[in-house]
Amino acid sequence: MNHQRTKHIEMDIHFVREKVALGQVHVLHVPTRYQYADIFTKGLPKPLFDDFRSSLSIHPPPASTEGVY
């Protein structure tokens, strides 16, 4: 992998580690059940998908047969 392309990632990691070591950032565990970003990146079981979708205030459009042949 090209070092030039990953250098910014290395700098970000060191920045975050330093802030954690100084106590300026507290890293908390977030259970999978509450990883709302997963709705955009993973196939989820329908109940979990529905829970996440409702937390985003997104609802399916009303059913309509108008214009359908």
Domain range annotation of the chain: 3-55
- What's residue 21's pLDDT? 94
- Category of 23 on φ-ψ map: left (φ > 0), alpha (ψ -120 to 50) or beta: left
Residue 52 amino acid letter:
F
- What's residue 19's pLDDT? 93
Q: Which residue has the tokens 């392309």?
A: 5
- What's residue 1's pLDDT? 60
- What's residue 67's pLDDT? 67
Low-confidence ranges of the chain (pLDDT < 70): 1-3, 66-69
Residue 22 amino acid letter:
L
- What's residue 23's pLDDT? 95
- What's residue 69's pLDDT? 63
